[in-house]
Amino acid sequence: MSFQWNDLNGTFHPDTALDYLPEGQLRALQLQRLQATVGRVYHNVALLRERMDARGVKPEDLRTLDDIRRLPFTEKTDLRDTYPYGLFASPMSDVVRLHASSGTTGKPIVVGYTLQDMETWKNVILRALAAAGLHRGDIIQNAYGYGLFTGGLGLHYGAEALGATVIPISGGNSERQILVMRDFGATAICCTPSYFIHLIEHGASMGVKLKDLPLRVGIFGAEPWTEEMRCFIQRETNIRAIDIYGLSEIIGPGVGSECLCQQGPHIFEDHFLFEILDPRTGDPMPDGEEGELVLTTLSKQAMPMIRYRTHDITRAIPGPCGCGRTLRRIERISRRSDDMLIVRGVNVFPSQIEAALLKVEKTLPHYQIVLRREREMDEMEIRIEVTADVFSDRVGELERIEARLGKAVESTTGVRARISLVEPQTLQRSEGKAKRVLDLRKLDALKP
Ligand SMILES: [Zn+2]
């Protein structure tokens, strides 16, 4: 079998055909797969069968895609409560891979894959990378963590199936990342956006400008990020920063991914059905309006998910994409409902703060939000790194930038914050998902 289809000038291959399936055929395929998935779950997963029975709904009641609204939701707590294998719909003898999320509190969650699930995963990653303009001959530095985390191994097999050269470097060891990137001639990198920003500056400290390397595409995901962050990355490195979306509970990376139009990830709708719902009522939001993303897997065998509540806030992007794919898009996830901070009664998202900060000149995309409770009042401090010249410039520069940042944050969030400018390399760096918020309010409340 040849790989001509994804050679430099190739544009089409049966493997990617489903990206362009006519709408009617796509919905028919979804319905057929939904019916099969619900049947599989009903007969193999006790918890979901009990819930469906309690609602008086049987698999054969699903006659249209809208009937999905008769099915119960699945929550992350369901995975914890049935730890480790309670939601599996395949016997363990058919499960060829396990992954798990570490989970900061309590039990981790465990997910499983059959051989066919591995094929599905490989296929969606292959389509994601192809949509990002990657092909045979590309050298992909995969800096997502290898191990129980789905990021590393998830990207790995799809990248190989594409015919690209994979460097399975995993996360961490920034010095080696830079040397390998330079010496091996990596043309693409996969990691979290915050780790990539760390690599930009680590490279600079070693005298390596990423702009001068052959690197041309970044596949970024596994944490919320903003358009401002994308602009910063693209400006600093001249690469295309592509958003890939996924979560372990559904498959890992590859639930959706952006094409080169960079207008939000296309969801691989032949494998995943998405709904955008009002998080309070569970009612569907009209196209284009913001709500919680709820996902149902359509072809997973080992651990199908029915109406999984992601807590990711997004909207369906109406209208066709310039690339010609018929798969619908969602807006890149920049916030999650459980990221929400309540500061003096006001709802604040870290992404709002990120967007406000990065609009002010001379700021660097390293910041930390510190919440404290002082004299019965919430206090929000934002520590942010600024370029080194700010500290050596004329007196008054610091104050001017502080004031500008304070204003930007207050007008975006409605909350006044104390701004602390710090020198480059002051705030802690993360090799995976960035920790932006330090909430000390509970500790403060315990103080005598
Ligand atoms: Zn597109």
Q: What is the pLDDT along the chain (448 residues), one digit of tens a residue?
A: 344 444 445 555 656 678 999 999 999 999 999 999 999 999 999 999 999 999 999 999 999 999 999 999 999 999 999 999 999 999 999 999 999 986 555 678 999 999 999 999 999 999 999 999 999 999 999 999 999 999 999 999 999 999 999 999 999 999 999 999 999 999 999 999 999 999 999 999 999 999 999 999 999 998 889 999 999 999 999 999 999 999 999 999 999 999 999 999 999 999 999 999 998 899 999 999 999 999 999 999 999 999 999 999 999 999 999 999 999 999 998 888 878 899 988 889 898 899 999 999 888 889 999 999 988 889 999 999 998 888 877 778 888 999 999 999 999 999 999 999 999 889 988 777 788 899 999 888 777 6
Q: What is the chain's Cα-based Rg? A: 23
* Residue 295 alpha carbon to ligand 1 centre in Å: 20
DSSP assignment, residue 434?
-
For ligand 1, the distance from its centroid to the CA atom of residue 190, given in whole angstroms, is 20
CATH number of the domain enclosing 372: 3.30.300.30
pLDDT, position 104: 55
Same domain for 84 and 155, yes or no, is yes
> Is residue 348 domain-shared with residue 278, that is, in the same domain?
no
Tell me, in angstroms, the distance from the centre of ligand 1 to residue 194's CA.
24
Same domain for 128 and 24? yes
> Alpha-carbon distance 350 to 367, whole Å?
10
Q: What local confidence, expressed as pLDDT, does residue 434 receive?
A: 81
Of 123, 105, 128, nearest in space to 113 by CA: 123
User: Residue 199 C-alpha to ligand 1 middle, in angstroms?
Assistant: 28
Residues 296 and 394 in one domain: no
Same domain, 313 and 370: no
Distance from Cα 241 to the centre of ligand 1, integer Å:
14
| Listed residues 303, 337, 371: the one ending a domain | 337
Rounded distance from Cα 12 to ligand 1 centre (Å): 14
Question: Whole domain around residue 260: which residue ranges?
Answer: 1-337
Q: What integer pLDDT is reported at residue 103 of this predicted model?
A: 58
In a shared domain, residues 320 and 379 = no
Separation of alpha carbons 419 and 229, rounded Å: 20
- Residue with tokens 């990691």, as numbered in its chain: 191
Distance of CA 260 from the midpoint of ligand 1 (Å): 7
Report the separation in Å between the CA atom of 34 and the middle of ligand 1, taken as the mean of its atom positions: 25
Whole-number Å distance, alpha carbon 424 to ligand 1 midpoint, is: 37
- Looking at 337, 358, 386, the residue that finishes a domain is 337
Residues 377 and 288 in one domain: no
Q: Rounded to an integer, what distance in angstroms lies between the CA atom of residue 443 and that of residue 287?
A: 42
Report how far ligand 1's centroid is from the alpha carbon of 268 (Å).
12
Predicted TM-score of the model (pTM): 0.88
Q: How far is the CA of 320 from the centre of ligand 1 (A)?
A: 8
In this prediction, residue 448 carries a pLDDT of: 67
Query: Is the same domain home to 332 and 345?
Result: no
Eight-state DSSP code of residue 171: S
* Spatial distance between the Cα atoms of 385 and 156, rounded to a whole number of angstroms: 34
- In the reported structure, the alpha carbon of residue 269 is separated from the centroid of ligand 1 by a whole-number distance in angstroms of 13
* Distance (Å) from CA 65 to ligand 1 centroid: 24
Q: What is the CATH number of the domain that holds 61?
A: 3.40.50.12780
Residues, the chain: 448
Query: Looking at the 3D structure of the chain, how many domains does it have?
Result: 2
Quote the ligand 1 centre to 38 CA distance (angstroms).
30
Same domain, 173 and 55: yes
Question: Using CA atoms, how far apart are residues 443 and 448, in angstroms rounded to an integer?
Answer: 11
Same structural domain for residues 108 and 233? yes
Same domain membership, residue 163 and residue 44: yes
- 139 shares its domain with 166: yes
Take residue 202 and report the two structure tokens written for it: 């680590």
